[in-house]
Structure 1
């Protein structure tokens, strides 16, 4: 178990903007940072990070929390794993006991698979560096490829022995279950035997953006024609090859810093480029490029340069990936290498400066690339040329930005020597087709929404009002609960003539005390179960602690409560995202008049609750003239007097804080 002292050090040291900055490209937005959501497909930033509050909020998916919550959501870490990750990041010594066999057995399935994969990575790497067979075969192979010792350690390359079950025996001996060796694909399990999937191969660990081991790629070193040259881990609960990029863990910081990502096909392409000093490189690992892989890069940069070797057939097959990149709103360039060279071989025989110069000189815009690649085929064939032009316009239609589309149309018209108006008309047809299809889908979704929305609009309106008022109570406690301000108390006193009068007195209260006393006085309990739990927890926290620290408070909350607290705390950041001030809409700064804001919110809530009682009394009135409704009417009139009192205190007919 990790000691409390270590956990406290991690929370004191970790900065949420630094932690998230390793996974998402963040840009300054006032006192906050914003970026594209790592949890959904979007082109306009709705992901906000608050360094002051040390929390984040993703308005597109509704997720939020502190740095620990981000790692648990994004990397599927357990709480202890997130602590360990941050401790390593900030060089904090971890005080913990050794993970016992009992704890391994208790770990959930996904966690067990991660543990097995991490063990396998270390086993293969150690075998490569320290075992006689590993050094003679695996290490020799990597040295022949030109990889240095530092490079081998950086990518944690390994070797799986030629023996049928060397790895499986070692893993079972260390207490790892055969069930998880099977589920990760490291061991192939038959009825009467089990054996290593990757026997006799050099190993390339495939890691997530945070460095978690998800799976492996293994290259065979013999000339066995029956065996695949490269073998990957099978799909599992932790490894989905369409959602990972080889080298993203090592490349992420360089990609964000240089604002560009080089995309290659193979493991050795990535490694050779990195060794040459160009670290912002990732590989699709031989699979066709997918939208999920592109979005991984999109979190770090808007710019991708796709690197191809000189194989023309491979180039044409890869063009499909360019359209996918464009659809994600990214900028794409293409660079090819001379015949006979691929990124690996070219990087190996060129210096860092020469390699960088070649990439900068030969990287073409995707339009120029498509034209140069396919023009030779079209030549004097009008039909083929027309098809090429339509193909180029189809690619342009994928670009979300209208100005970029316009510029690319002009460039295509110039290169292909065709009227720009013809291209504009063709593009309009393609875009209109997409709009119609999208419109049909939206109408279907809207119909389904309307059915739900219109079931009981009056009831929905009332529920929303109470929800918003209770949410405001929680918001005030979170933002200002420990602040002290002057509040007005209205007391009933008897004057010299014996008459009862209302007398105002001003007293100092802490905000949480004022709210607690007011709700106690009204005998009001919050209706929303989630808000009620948070309210009770907050009041207890204020009573037991002299100071209120957001991160400290979030730390002890249950996940569902922490999620709602984050949503409320980041409401102001939502306003910043919408740039209301830029639209001449002023968002009131509530901390300028805390006592007034608190009093108005409580009065508005009282007004709403009393109004609801009046409506219930109205429902009790009988239309039968024989029935005596006087008592009910009298009660209703008393409540109306209360409404008038609230109106007088608020200074208006309706609370500006009601919804």
Structure 2
């Protein structure tokens, strides 16, 4: 187990904006940062990071928390994994305490798969560098491709021996379980025999954005015509081919810095470009480009440049991926290499400056690229030319931004020598067709969208006032709980004539003490189960600790509370509340003191609870002519007087909740 002192050091050192910045492009927004949600498909940023509070909140999905919570959500780390990742990032030495047998037995299945994959990466890499077979075959191959020792190490390239079960035996001997060797696809069990899936191949570890080993790509070097040239890990709980990009771990910082991502097809294309000095490059690993892969890039940049070799036959099939990129609202350019060249071979023989210059000069807008590629096919055939134009307009219709669509229509009109109006009419038909299909597939979503537009008139009718008030109390405790404020106490004292009168005294309390004493006095317990647990947790924390630092509190907070707590801490970053005053919900104003804010919230809650009591009493009043309702009516009048006093203290006209 990781020691408590190490965990404390990690939390004290890690900066949430730096940790998240490795995965999401963050832009300054006042004292905070904002970016696109990594948990949902969106085009307008709703993901907020607060450096001051050291927390983040994704308003589109509702997720939130600290640095560790982000890694657990985004990378599916366990808590110890997240701590280890941060310790490595910030060069913090990890102190370990011995794990019990029970703790070892409870290790997560996915974690076991990750551990096996990490072992495999190291095994293949060491075999490449130090085993005779690895050096003679694998290492020699990579050196012939022009890869330096530094590059081989950077991408952890490896070699799997030709022996049937060399890796499997080694892994089992080191204590790794066969079930995880099978589930990751590293080992095949056939007729009770162990077979290494990748035997006799050079290995390309496939990493997640955080650097975890998800799977492997492997290339055979022999002349066995029956065997596939390239072989990938099978789909598993940790490896989904359509959702990963080769090289994203090495490229993520360069992509964000350059605000552009070069997209290639193969492993060696990525490695050769990286070695040449252009690091913002990833590969779809030979698969057809998917929306999930594009969204992975979208977290880092809006700009993609697709690099194709000079094979015309392959180009025609590959341009289908361009429409997918456009659908995600991204900007796409295309660059091709001379016939007979691919990104790997071209980068290998081209100096860095010349390579950069070539990419800049030959990267075409997708409209220009499609026109130049397809015009050769159409030539003087008017039917084919019409199909070509329709194909280009179809791509333009995929662009979500209307202004961009119109600009591209103008460009298409100029290139193809056809009137804008004809193109606009065709575009309108295609867009309308897409809308119609969307409506058919998701009528419920469309209805939900219509409802959202009328939130001011509809949603407010359904506001749970008590829920909002209890949420306000938790928010106050989190934001101001340990602050000392001056509050007014109203005491009952006898004057010289022996009459009882109200005397106002001012006294200092910590905010949490004032709230605690007020609720105790009224014998009120929060009705919402989650808020009640958080409230008790906070009060206990305040009682046991002289100081309150949100980072320290979040460190020890149970995961079931973190999402709600983060939402409350980021309330100012969320959109302004709509007409809460009309619903008797207090919103703190900038010129309002904390003591006033606390007092008004508690008074409003008392008002609501007393009002509920009145309603119950009214139900007990009998409508029978001879019924004696004096007692309940008297109580109702007393409670109305109490509400009237609340109203005066709040400085508002008395109103009702129902």
The normalised TM-score by structure 2 is 0.95
Q: 1:440, CA displacement in angstroms?
A: 4.8
Asked whether the 8 Å contact 2:264–2:281 carries over to 1, the reply is yes
Farther off after superposition, 68-77 or 432-441: 432-441
Partner of 2:219: 219
1:129-148 map, 5 Å: 129-148=129-148
Partner of 1:603: 603
Separation (CA, whole Å) in 2 of partners of 1:576 and 1:624: 50
Partner of 1:276: 276
Partner of 1:564: 564
Partner of 1:360: 360
2:169 is equivalent to residue 166 of structure 1: no
Q: 1:106, CA displacement in angstroms?
A: 2.8
Partner of 1:240: 240
Partner of 1:30: 30
Asked whether the 8 Å contact 1:290–1:324 carries over to 2, the reply is yes
Q: 1:194, CA displacement in angstroms?
A: 1.7
Separation (CA, whole Å) in 1 of partners of 2:361 and 2:56: 40
Partner of 1:288: 288
Partner of 2:202: 202
Asked whether the 8 Å contact 1:367–1:408 carries over to 2, the reply is yes
Partner of 1:454: none
Asked whether the 8 Å contact 1:39–1:61 carries over to 2, the reply is yes
Partner of 1:20: 20
* Deviation string, structure 1 residues 420-465 (Cα, Å, up to 9, x no partner): 01111111112222233334556434668999xxxxx999967711
2:325 is equivalent to residue 328 of structure 1: no
* CA separation of 1:460 and 1:28: change in aligned 2, threshold 3 A: closer
2:131 is equivalent to residue 126 of structure 1: no
Partner of 2:64: 64
Separation (CA, whole Å) in 2 of partners of 1:276 and 1:299: 25
Asked whether the 8 Å contact 2:304–2:331 carries over to 1, the reply is yes
Asked whether the 8 Å contact 2:206–2:214 carries over to 1, the reply is yes
Q: 1:619, CA displacement in angstroms?
A: 2.0
1:474-493 map, 5 Å: 474-493=474-493
* CA separation of 1:598 and 1:321: change in aligned 2, threshold 3 A: same
Structure 1 spans left out of the alignment, 5+ residues: 452-456, 579-586
Asked whether the 8 Å contact 2:643–2:654 carries over to 1, the reply is no
* CA separation of 1:298 and 1:160: change in aligned 2, threshold 3 A: same
Partner of 2:545: 545
Partner of 1:583: none
Q: 1:627, CA displacement in angstroms?
A: 2.9
Separation (CA, whole Å) in 1 of partners of 2:299 and 2:2: 32
Separation (CA, whole Å) in 1 of partners of 2:230 and 2:104: 31
Partner of 2:339: 339
SS of the equivalent of 1:202 reads strand
SS of the equivalent of 1:575 reads coil
* CA separation of 1:647 and 1:65: change in aligned 2, threshold 3 A: same
Separation (CA, whole Å) in 2 of partners of 1:193 and 1:252: 41
Q: 1:253, CA displacement in angstroms?
A: 0.4
* Deviation string, structure 1 residues 590-619 (Cα, Å, up to 9, x no partner): 585111111111111111111111112222
Partner of 2:10: 10
* CA separation of 1:617 and 1:102: change in aligned 2, threshold 3 A: closer
Separation (CA, whole Å) in 2 of partners of 1:116 and 1:591: 58
SS of the equivalent of 1:236 reads coil
Separation (CA, whole Å) in 2 of partners of 1:41 and 1:64: 17
2:449 is equivalent to residue 435 of structure 1: no
Asked whether the 8 Å contact 2:644–2:654 carries over to 1, the reply is no
Separation (CA, whole Å) in 1 of partners of 2:88 and 2:502: 63
SS of the equivalent of 2:597 reads helix
Separation (CA, whole Å) in 1 of partners of 2:97 and 2:546: 33
Q: 1:654, CA displacement in angstroms?
A: 5.5
* CA separation of 1:612 and 1:403: change in aligned 2, threshold 3 A: same
Asked whether the 8 Å contact 1:600–1:655 carries over to 2, the reply is no
Partner of 1:651: 651
Q: 1:503, CA displacement in angstroms?
A: 1.2
* CA separation of 1:213 and 1:64: change in aligned 2, threshold 3 A: same
Separation (CA, whole Å) in 1 of partners of 2:98 and 2:181: 21
SS of the equivalent of 1:493 reads strand
Partner of 2:582: none
Partner of 1:318: 318
Q: 1:588, CA displacement in angstroms?
A: 5.4
* Deviation string, structure 1 residues 270-289 (Cα, Å, up to 9, x no partner): 00000000000000000000
Separation (CA, whole Å) in 2 of partners of 1:440 and 1:607: 48
SS of the equivalent of 1:38 reads coil
Asked whether the 8 Å contact 1:46–1:577 carries over to 2, the reply is no
Asked whether the 8 Å contact 2:482–2:547 carries over to 1, the reply is yes
